[in-house]
Structure 1
């Protein structure tokens, strides 16, 4: 068979000139020493791509033969695992090589001395994947017994789920490489742990050499080219320390958050985000290909989004690589636990710290997340100081490791110490949706209802006791509504325009990019096909410029009832988040009638209402705006019924 996932798995810490991919068919046993099956690595054993499809299997064994390339003799041979859920024990030729606990972070073992004289060996991996996942970081993987959020959890992804590989390195080697832009965006700050001397090269730009490495150095870049959504330029960095060489890359960009605004490179940036949970129909947590990782980002861009919130999962580093290369902003957050115990909190804090250490060089990441909706905190942050302390510690773990990006401490509810104040609100009544959104954004009243079960609605609050978010950047962290695709499209249009109505709101995260198993709330289907959203085009809803229609709609297909025989007035506002003013024209068409009105929209603002007088005619009212050159920059529609 062809090697699955053949691409080098760690583009931000690259030794790809010499490596051996160990993906492919391995022997597989559900009980020790009973290797009667094969499994395709790196696909989780629950999912079809693995060839096994074993459910609720708490322990399994993997086995295969290793052979070190002949030209690696005299160097150290390192065995790497991208991620294994959850506890891995690794032997080579019967000797213990490494144990690792935690299902989302990479680990390695120097196996040089465990191979035989010919450089070969038998590799055996035992994986323990508890069915009861409530006390370990596991995100949206279903647990047995169930998490409190079981209704939105999915088939687990157990075992080896990222690439396994070998690579050589010298005895003295680079163990850490962090790349960050300077504050002035005129160079790259390089931090590495390794031997001296050190040579740093930015190909075609600069070279610096050090006989005695100071630990951190700055490489100036003349005429710097910044990284942005529109121009995602990255600089490759080649570092040689002693006899070891590693390649990395980063981009020059700065994130700022103040005055109610999130800015990238000094430009106010309205977050048009989407939730992405990182599941695939036949591979669970593991994408079928590198192209599939790239395609998800392209689909998000095609739907009008400029940011992806990767939801409670540390994604394959190749996905972040493509976000960097394609210019997609990322909100990154660690996988959640399900219960509040000292051990669960410690495990969550370990993976949180590991997230920043692994992914901090990626320019696409502009927001770090900690907890989500008090998951792993028994949904009781406001009433328990110990849980407030846990939220505060998670925030500070991230903030201390990386002060250059804003941190969300507890996304959605009960903020304790945070840089961004976000709130999750779901409501399928358009009237109450608009009213509560207005109140949350524009008043100090941060209470809102949350449906936690079919018959259970709890009142949640944005702030935990003692927290004041008045001067913080505020945005919506999750929203969406509707049971059918047509209803989803209808709510997408009307709910999003309400979020765009309020200048104080810094953006939103729509739930979600694609369906997953029983959760059919995506813009796309689970296999990433487009949906019929009742004529709603997501890229129009999430455009840089949108039209806000000042009516309270009734239901899909019947937005507004028109009186018989009389004209009607429909107020329309323009929400414009371009860098330059929009001087253009608003157009409308209804049946045989049509008309225009001038548009004068300031950047990052909402215009006053433009009142359109229309005939009292049933049908679909089409509205669109053009710029001075006649290009269409915004579209929407209203269904009129008699």
Structure 2
């Protein structure tokens, strides 16, 4: 019997094998001389004296502790620097520790870091001697009351307003820990940008013995530059490329830039990766490398069963990227989390686009806003080189702003200030200052809307696209619904900024969710004004079962829906408001005329013919029937322009069945698929309802 990836991680922790043994930063490679510190540490907290497995949070089963609401813990272990590192500098790295970490070596304070999602490092050269064992201690504080600190989806006590969509906290060391040997003067930070499309802009910040006046070399095969650092230890320049090769989802070409400082045995060397690509807005369009981009995205919260926010292994990170692509998506919105660099590197390597965003606090205060902004430099420094990241997010749904940008100048100013801080750090990507609604300073107008009634959804999506309305209802609590607006101020421009939906989805069961996915997505594709969408969500998380996949990344019963068809470059848009999941149309079906549009987001026009045929109920939707096919005439479809409707004459049908609809191109290849289920539409059972709760036609057979 094969084990799931989560079970493999648990077995590793139980047997003493080092978990997450791979080098943690493939995008900034120093794997020639490094030492993982993952594995067993001594742990002490509130009467607990035990082993703990790093890098898993102490709430997780994989850690061996599995305790929630511990607010303080101390980690200890022995470390021996390899003798061959003599003469080099030693740097202790932490992928992430929630929330405050104080590090000591042999009792001496090394440093302190506050912020639960950022990577950080300490130069510990003066504290370690090659070949000699030293005691490393990490004291961690993780407040149960997280309201004023960045914590995203981690549950807090007192509870957040959004506690119903919060999960088990992630406390303590929850990302890899490792030690590196570096040169006596070394590149502490390397920034690479390729938005010129003709070369790689390189910025290096030095640390160590001689930061001023040091020679810094940056090279790729066939091209190099030599720089000299200034008094502050900074050096910058551009590697010009004679034959630049752009990075794109279709051709995710990466450049590996070797940055070296100094010469001989004391020299420093790191290999960082990036790509040549430019993401920008032009009016209401997103544009990638000069071509229009339509976002077909999925929201991913980056949780795993039994390991929480920490991936059980590197393969789990890479597999999630592959699964998102198999579902038809070209972008992943990584929600309220700095994701593992291995995941981001895999996105770079495979061409998956990324919307990246930090975690946020839940209550507004000056201190909370400052804590939120304080993590942004670390986010850009760590992740800014990734060409896959095409959108930066900031606040989410006014969390940390008390759901009140429109009613509070101070809260609106906090959102604007966060935008300005991030824009000063990185001017190469669009920024969303408050995802969901109430925009005051943003490069994108994104909106979150959950609506169970498809007729209402269809009309709302149309009205929001046309500009007839700006508001939509948002259920913030069981008895608390607010009309939220695209805009948080009267001065925000109503045109000229790209608009996209960045959260939607409905349904109680997996069948209902797949049904809503089909019909809600097609309505978004009906309106060419939109720049894309992001479905909620990729996989289940604890009690939240809204995922296309289970928490273990297994597929669900989608009732014949193939998500890759729904999210394809070319899709069919049907002029029909369906009845309900499993019964898009009621039986018996009289012959009718079905209007079919084509939404095509390729780079050139497409000649198609729409066809349809009845098949038995429950038939596979990716098999073309052999008989009973009805067809339309040929239709030329232009990119990013919904085609006119063609009429498909649907034959009558007495009993249940599945109408398969597909489009073929000039070669006869199928380029788009859709389907309709015909079945009896049974009135809902409301026996025993309180008087007045249900009014409608009598259910057959009822007295």
TM-score normalized by structure 1?
0.97
* Residues 365-380 of structure 1: pairs in structure 2 closer than 5 A: 365-380=389-404
Give 2:523's aligned residue: 498
Of 266, 276, 291, 2:315 maps to 291
**Within 5 A, what are the aligned runs for 1:482-631?**
482-561=507-586, 566-591=590-615, 593-597=628-632, 598-617=634-653, 618=655, 619-631=657-669
- Measured after TM superposition, the shift of residue 118 of structure 1 is 4.7
Residue 279 of structure 1: aligned partner: 303
Q: How much does 1:352 deviate?
A: 2.5
Pairing partner for 2:338 from 303, 309, 314 = 314
- Give the aligned partner of residue 476 of structure 2: 452
Which of 503, 526, 529 does residue 478 from structure 1 map onto? 503
Match of 2:260 in 1: 240
Alpha-carbon distance between aligned partners in 2 of 1:533 and 1:197, rounded to the nearest angstrom: 59
| Cα RMSD after superposing both structures | 1.5
C-alpha deviations, 1:129-172, integer Å up to 9, x for none?
Answer: 11111110011011111110000001111110111111122332
- Do the aligned partners of 2:228 and 2:235 also contact (CA within 8 Å) in 1? no
**Structure 1, unaligned runs of 5 or more:** none
* Counterpart among 243, 247, 261 of residue 223 in structure 1: 243
Q: Which residue of 2 aligns with 1:13?
A: 28
> Cα distance 1:152–1:321, how it changes in 2: closer, same or farther (>3 A)?
same
Contact kept in structure 1, 2:278 and 2:428, CA below 8 Å: yes
Indicate conservation of the 8 Å contact 2:612/2:650, yes or no. Answer: no
1:594-623 C-alpha deviation (Å, 9 max, x unpaired): 211223211111101111112221421100
Structure 1 residue 563 displacement after superposition: 6.5
**In 2, Cα distance between equivalents of 1:641 and 1:582:** 34
State the match for 1:28 in structure 2: 43
**Aligned residues of 1:352 and 1:370 also touching (Cα < 8 A):** no
- Structure 2, gaps ≥5 residues long: 1-15, 616-626, 681-703
Partner-residue secondary structure (3-state), 1:498: helix
Where 1:605 maps in the other structure, the secondary structure is coil
Evaluate the alpha carbon distance shift between residue 596 and residue 138 of structure 1 in structure 2; reply closer, same or farther with a 3 A threshold: same
Deviation at 1:75, TM superposition (A): 2.0
Q: Measure the CA separation in 1 of the matches of 2:227 and 2:379.
A: 30
- What's the offset of the Cα at 1:35? 6.8
SS in 2 for 1:552: coil
Superposed CA deviations along residues 354-412 of structure 1, whole A, max 9, x for unmatched, are 21222111000000001110000000110000000000011111112111111111111
Distance in 1, matches of 2:280 and 2:129, equals 54
Kept in 1, the 8 Å contact 2:303–2:310? The answer is yes
Other structure's SS at 1:174 match: strand
Cα shift readout 1:96-135 (whole Å, capped 9, x = no counterpart): 1111111111122222222368532111111111111111
Matches within 5 A, 1:27-426: 27-31=42-46, 36-115=49-128, 118-183=131-196, 185-194=197-206, 195=211, 196-202=214-220, 204-210=221-227, 215-242=235-262, 243-426=267-450
1:593 to partner: Cα distance: 2.7
1:292–1:92 Cα change, 3 Å: same
Is contact 1:27-1:35 (8 Å) kept? Answer: no
Q: CA deviation at 1:442?
A: 1.2
**Distance in 1 of aligned mates of 2:195 and 2:561:** 43
Moved more, 407-416 or 253-262: 253-262
Q: How many pairs were matched up? A: 637
Q: Which residue of 1 aligns with 2:621?
A: none
The question of whether the paired residues in 2 share the 8 Å contact of 1:573 and 1:610 is answered with: yes
Post-superposition offset of 1:205: 2.7
Taking structure 1 as reference, are residues 640 and 128 closer, same or farther at Cα in structure 2, changes over 3 Å only?
same
Check conservation: 1:558, 1:640, Cα contact below 8 A.
yes
- Partners of 1:72 and 1:514 lie apart in 2 by 44
| SS at 2:533 equivalent | strand
Partner Cα separation in structure 1 for residue 666 and residue 421 of structure 2: 49
In the alignment, the residues of structure 1 paired with residue 269 and residue 311 of structure 2 have an alpha-carbon distance, to the nearest angstrom, of 29
Q: Per the alignment, do residues 212 and 556 of structure 1 end up closer, same or farther by CA in structure 2, a change over 3 Å counting?
A: closer
Q: CA deviation at 1:562?
A: 5.9
Q: Kindly indicate whether the alpha-carbon contact (under 8 Å) linking 2:217 and 2:259 is maintained by their aligned counterparts in 1.
A: yes
Distance 2:63 2:403 in 1: 35
Give TM-score, length-normalised by structure 2: 0.89
Residues 75 and 130 of structure 1, relative CA distance in 2, 3 Å threshold? same
